Structure formats: C-alpha cells, structure tokens
C-alpha cells in the first residue's frame, strides 16, 4: 500500500503553507488574526471595485474549480460558483448525492477520479465533520480544498463574511460585545464564528440558547453562555441569529416553534436591551416568526442582505488568496 493512503491524523495546520500562506481553507480555528484581516482586506478590494471590474478579476483564469456538494445547498453553492466565475475559473458542479456516492464508490475513489479531470480546487460540503480535512489530507498536492460546511464542525467562509460585515459596520473588534442566538449544538456556522471572533480579539462573545441547544464544554471555547435572551442581549453591539431547523421541534430538543419564538425570537421590543446602534445578522435562510420577527429582519438594524453581497466578495478573496499562494505570487 502506498504510504499516501495510510489512515492517520488530519492536522488543521495543513491549512497553511510553510510560508504561512493559505493553502486550504478548512476552519477559522487556529488561523492567525492577521490572516483573517488579510481575507477581509482582500474582500474589501473586491467590494469597492467598480461593478464592471469586479466581474473581471482573473486570478483564477485557466483554473478548474469543482463544487463537491454531498449535502444539498443551492444558495451556498451558487455564491461559490459566482465567486469562482468572477475570478475567471471554469466551474463544475457535482451533486454527489445523486451520483457516485449512492453507487457505493468510496470518497477517496471519487476524489481520485475528479483529480484525473484536472481539478485545481475542491469546494466541499458534507454532512460529516472533518470531511474537508480528510480530502485535503489525501488529495493530490497541487489541489486546494475549500470547506463549504462539514457536519457540525465548520463553515469558515460564512464566518468570514460575517466578520467582514461586522468590521464594515463597527470597525475594531476589541470593544465589541457579540452574541450568537439559537441552535449552537448543531451549528457549524456558530463554531466558525466563535473561533474567528475570539481570534480577532472581540471584547465579549456570548451565546444565548436553552440548555438543550448548548453543546457540552462550549465555555472552553472562550464564550459566555446565557440561557435567558433578555440578559444575554444587554449592551450588545452585534446580534447573530442562527437558523432554527424545523426538524429540531420533532425531537426532544424544543417543545414548539411558538415557545422558541416567545423565549428566543428576536423582536424590536427585546432588541431595546442592546445598544441603540446594534446590528442584527443572520446566515440565512431565515424563518420569519421562529428565530426572528419580520420587522427585525427587514428593519434598520438588519444587515442580512449586506451579508449576502459580502459572501461573494469574501469567497472571491479566499479563492484568490489560495490560488495566489499556489502560484507563489499575487497574495
């Protein structure tokens, strides 16, 4: 057996080249805060480019980006697709759920086949934690892997577009109080946000949820935990609502959407506890009347639509930095 195929650890450190540049983007955990700022600086450049030029920034000309989505997500896939196209890449979308995986092919075999089609970058979404790391560890050395969500583990581009949006609105992270509200237990977005916020030196990071939705040992990630929304909202600068999955209501985690909204739903009234200029964020798609009231979602505090726009800029930033480091130049 080739040693390349030996089962073993999947260290996060493989995200960076020996020179400290981004090789894969798998998690916000363990990345230096300067690099996180580099991503946001690069995104800023893409956002401020005039619309015409924005669509012609050919960092990835001649490259092939493959979207490997083992789990359905039209929205995320489309933003990656647009980002790659604007950078001049050829983009292929593979909905693996309906192809090889159901025919019993192993994940490594699938990866081998796609490598043979001259892929340069895999954008991976999978229902199991650590899958992007697994592919990064075992794929050919010239390929970069971008994690578009793995189980409950990480969704680093979503977290970075949220950080970018916060930085646009608030500037420095040090004085900020930021809270994440809702289903932390199942949320890869929350985990990536927490790592990014703590790395960026955020003044206070809180999570607000009932005990059933707070995973064990979360306090060890550097957050303060609140079970009561009104207490948790006090003096906040940024409120991040998470999408509440409907299926959680069918298990023993929550009694009903009504009770959740009553206790943890964001309304104008309850947001009075925050600072007057506090912003409200949501990774989408939103459930109106479950985790967020329509008046909040569409109101003056909401930056939800800016998040969507920033999502493309941040994904362009990450992709161009990865490919730049591969070429040994631009980034």
Give contact residues for another protein (rule: CB under 8 A): 1, 5-12, 29, 106-108, 126, 128-131, 133-134, 138, 150-154, 188, 191, 215-218, 220-221
Residues in the chain: 331
Between 128 and 295, whose beta carbon lies closer to another protein? 128
Phi, psi dihedrals of residue 15, rounded to the nearest 5°: -65, -30
For residue 191, say whether it is annotated as part of any ligand binding site: no
Between 146 and 271, name the residue whose CB sits nearer to another protein: 146
Neighbours of 52 (CB within 10 A): 7
Q: Which is nearer to another protein, 27 or 310 (CB)?
A: 27
| Exposed / middle / buried, residue 329 (Cβ in 10 Å: 0-12, 13-18, 19+) | exposed
Distance (Å, rounded) from C-alpha 271 to C-alpha 291? Answer: 13
206 is in an annotated binding site: no
76 is in an annotated binding site: yes
Query: Is 243 assigned to a binding site?
Result: yes
CB of 212 to another protein, least distance (A): 12
Closer of 194 and 303 to another protein (Cβ): 194
CB of 278 to another protein, least distance (A): 27
Is 301 known as a binding-site position?
no
Q: Is the peptide bond before 58 cis (omega within 30 degrees of 0)?
A: no
| Minimum distance of another protein from residue 302's CB (angstroms) | 28
Is 188 annotated to bind ligand?
Answer: yes
CA-CA distance, 203 to 210, in Å (whole number)? 23
Q: How far is the CB of 113 from another protein (least distance, A)?
A: 16
Q: What is the dihedral of CA 22, 26, 28, 31, to 10 degrees?
A: -40
In terms of CB distance, is 12 or 49 closer to another protein? 12
Asked if 322 and 87 touch (Cβ cutoff 8 Å), the reply is: no
Structure tokens at 198: 């703590």
Query: In the complex, what is the shortest distance from the CB of residue 219 to another protein, in angstroms, rounded to a whole number?
Result: 8
Judged by phi (left if over 0) then psi (alpha if -120 to 50, else beta), residue 187 lies in: beta
Q: Alpha-carbon distance 184 to 61, whole Å?
A: 39
Per the annotation, binding residues are 75-76, 103, 125, 155, 158, 188, 243, 284-285
Per the annotation, binding residues for carbamoyl phosphate are 75-76, 125, 155, 158, 284-285
Per the annotation, binding residues for L-aspartate are 103, 188, 243
């Amino acid at each position: 057996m080739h040693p390349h195929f030996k089962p073993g650890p999947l260290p996060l450190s493989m995200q960076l080249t020996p020179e400290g540049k981004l090789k894969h983007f798998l998690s916000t955990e363990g990345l230096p805060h300067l690099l996180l700022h580099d991503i946001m600086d690069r995104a800023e450049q893409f956002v401020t480019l005039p619309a015409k030029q924005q669509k012609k920034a050919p960092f990835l000309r001649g490259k092939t980006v493959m979207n490997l989505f083992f789990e359905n997500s039209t929205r995320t896939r489309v933003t990656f697709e647009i980002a790659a196209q604007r950078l001049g890449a050829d983009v292929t979308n593979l909905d693996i759920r309906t192809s090889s995986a159901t025919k019993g092919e192993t994940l490594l075999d699938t990866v081998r086949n796609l490598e043979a089609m001259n892929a340069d970058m895999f954008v991976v979404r999978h229902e199991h934690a650590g899958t992007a790391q697994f592919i990064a560890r075992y794929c050919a050395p010239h390929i970069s892997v971008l994690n578009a969500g793995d189980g409950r583990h990480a969704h680093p581009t979503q977290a970075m577009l949220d950080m970018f949006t916060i930085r646009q609105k608030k500037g420095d992270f040090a004085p900020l109080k930021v809270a994440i509200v809702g289903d932390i237990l199942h949320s890869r977005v929350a985990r990536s946000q927490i790592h990014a916020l703590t790395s960026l030196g955020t003044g206070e990071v809180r999570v607000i949820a009932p005990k059933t939705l707070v995973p064990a040992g979360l306090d060890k990630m550097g957050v303060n935990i609140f079970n009561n929304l009104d207490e948790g909202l006090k003096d906040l600068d940024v409120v991040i609502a998470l999408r509440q999955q409907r299926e959680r209501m069918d298990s023993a985690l929550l009694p009903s959407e009504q009770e959740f909204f009553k206790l943890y739903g964001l309304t104008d009234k309850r947001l009075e506890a925050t600072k007057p200029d506090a912003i409200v964020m949501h990774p989408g798609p939103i459930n109106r009347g479950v985790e967020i009231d329509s008046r909040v979602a569409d109101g003056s505090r909401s930056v939800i639509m800016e998040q969507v726009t920033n999502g493309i800029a941040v994904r362009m930033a990450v992709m161009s930095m990865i490919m730049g480091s591969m070429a040994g130049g631009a980034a």
